[in-house]
Structure 1
Amino acid sequence: MNICVRNNFLRSNLMSSVCRFSTTVPEVEPNEPTFIIDDTEDAQAKEAEIQKKRNKSGLSKAHYNLMNDKRPYEEPHCLAHLTVKYHRKMYGKYGIASGVNPSLCWPTKQEIQERIEYETVAFPYTIKEVMESAAQRRKEEKLRILQRDREVAEKFAKLDAWKKDLHERIAKKEAEVKAAKLKKERLVEEVRRHFGFTLDPRDERFQEMLAKREKEQKKQEKLAKREEKEKLMIAKLQQQSAEVK
């Protein structure tokens, strides 16, 4: 109740009391000045102060609004708050309570045209073409996997033969190394018997005689291989002659 109404109410009660206990009617000035005091602004200020005291979080107004699902700023505080993107974001999050005109959420003709040009360059193929391309890639990948599996199966089937061949080659190499070592030992023993006395293998005379023996042995081996080859050729010719007869 404002002051003006309260004063009028008190005045009317006072006049009623006077009239009840008095035989004379008090005179009231017809044009008595009335002072009206509006306390609406004071009430609003008090309410704001009360609300401020109720906020015990210590948050700023913007953060307090965010925590209570309200728009953080009623007035723009930076250039970003004046952009269309920001207003669209506010409307998308707070709806009509954001106070943003919904028409801003629709793209302009220029934005639509730019988007069409971008999609034309970024996605030049139709949905059907993309699906066909993806199906072709899946088909090629499946064929590649099948081919790979086939190759692995073929190699696995040959694994035993490869292991056998490897063991044979290792055994042959070991036999060759062992034969070379025995041959070397025989040559050394022959050189020692040649001199008839113990001689250091590092001695120059020993090394010269060893080299000579090795050369003679290689020559004999070469002759033996040649003779073996000639025997094989003769046997082959004899077999061919017998077949002709």
Structure 2
Amino acid sequence: MALPMQRCWARLRAVTLPWPAAGYHARPRIWGLDTIYKPDPNDPNTKDWHKGPAYEAKLYGRFGSASGVSPESLWPSPEQLQALEDEEKEWQPSLREMQERLEAKDRELEKTQRERERLIAANMAKMPKMVEEWRRAKKEAKQKARDEKARKERLLALAREKFGIHVDFRSPKFQEMVKELEKEERKKMKALKKQQREEERAAMAAVLNAIPTPTKPASPATDSKA
């Protein structure tokens, strides 16, 4: 079993490779790990990431005092330290600050919930009145629709009496008749309202006349003369 597999592998390598190759693996080249590479910052060919305190801190962290870097120079300045403290306070608050923020958020949520419950209670208290107004408006709309339907039927009956069975609602004669009837109805309503006002005034006058007028008491001087 092993011999046919070896033959197959040899033929496959002969087909894929133009010449025989040996299974050779070279050792990786090790660059100077024992030496310290510290570029000149004044050299224009020096890369930006080879300059500055970040690279010096990297050298000091790898080689220690052998790097020639002074650890005092790596310590942040008072301004940088203040900036770091401010950033830490903003992004890494203390436990007490986080608790206060959570408590304030809970209070705000409770206030919002109470306001919502108060609004719901107020709307529920207004609900019967709103339902009654809705029912009254719906009833008035139905009554208005019925009145309008009755008016149209009455106008249609009058038009048929005047113009015959076949009536064109778009004809000028029919529109003129409608205007005249509406004008007469407004006059009748106006006269009816005037009559009602006059009757109310007459009833009020009758009530006022029925009230007895109080008599004026006699003065003491008149009584002594008597």
What is the TM-score of this pair, normalised by structure 1? Answer: 0.49
Q: Which has the higher contact order (CA 8 A, sep 6+)?
A: 1
Query: In 2, distance between residues paired with 1:181 and 1:98?
Result: 107
Question: Which of 61, 82, 88 is 2:57 aligned to?
Answer: 88
Question: Which of 78, 81, 84 is 1:112 aligned to?
Answer: 78
Change (3 A) 1:180 1:225: farther
Match of residue 33 from structure 1: none
Cα RMSD between the aligned structures?
4.5
Tell me the amino acid that sits aligned with residue 170 of structure 2. Answer: R
Tell me the amino acid that sits aligned with residue 103 of structure 1. Answer: E
Match of residue 181 from structure 2: 213
My pick for the range that moved more, 215-224 or 229-238, is 229-238
Match of residue 159 from structure 2: 191
Tell me the amino acid that sits aligned with residue 188 of structure 2. Answer: Q
Residues 69-148 of structure 1 mapped to structure 2, 5 A cutoff: 74-76=37-39, 78-88=47-57, 96=64, 99=67, 101-107=70-76, 111-113=77-79, 116=82, 142-143=110-111, 145-148=113-116
Equivalent pairs counted in the alignment come to: 168
Query: In 1, distance between residues paired with 2:112 and 2:126?
Result: 21
Change (3 A) 1:192 1:151: same
Match of residue 32 from structure 1: none
What is the TM-score of this pair, normalised by structure 2? Answer: 0.52
Tell me the amino acid that sits aligned with residue 78 of structure 2. Answer: I
Aligned-residue identity in percent? 25
**8 Å Cα contact 1:188-1:210 kept in structure 2:** no
Change (3 A) 1:183 1:78: same
Match of residue 120 from structure 2: 152
Deviation by residue 1:91-112 (Cα, 9 ceiling, x = unmatched):
67x68599565434312xxx31
Query: In 2, distance between residues paired with 1:239 and 1:97?
Result: 118
Tell me the amino acid that sits aligned with residue 52 of structure 2. Answer: T
Question: Which of 199, 215, 220 is 1:231 aligned to?
Answer: 199
Cα shift at 1:185: 2.0
Change (3 A) 1:54 1:225: farther
Cα shift at 1:117: 8.5
Match of residue 164 from structure 1: 132
Larger radius of gyration: 1
**8 Å Cα contact 2:159-2:167 kept in structure 1:** no
Cα shift at 1:78: 1.6
Structure 2: gaps spanning 5 or more residues = 1-24, 40-45, 213-226
Change (3 A) 1:155 1:241: farther
Query: In 2, distance between residues paired with 1:209 and 1:230?
Result: 32
Query: In 1, distance between residues paired with 2:198 and 2:59?
Result: 103
Cα shift at 1:221: 2.0
Deviation by residue 1:84-131 (Cα, 9 ceiling, x = unmatched):
023335667x68599565434312xxx3146558989xx9xxx9xx99
Tell me the amino acid that sits aligned with residue 72 of structure 2. Answer: S
Cα shift at 1:80: 1.9
**8 Å Cα contact 1:87-1:104 kept in structure 2:** no
Tell me the amino acid that sits aligned with residue 112 of structure 1. Answer: P
Cα shift at 1:235: 4.2
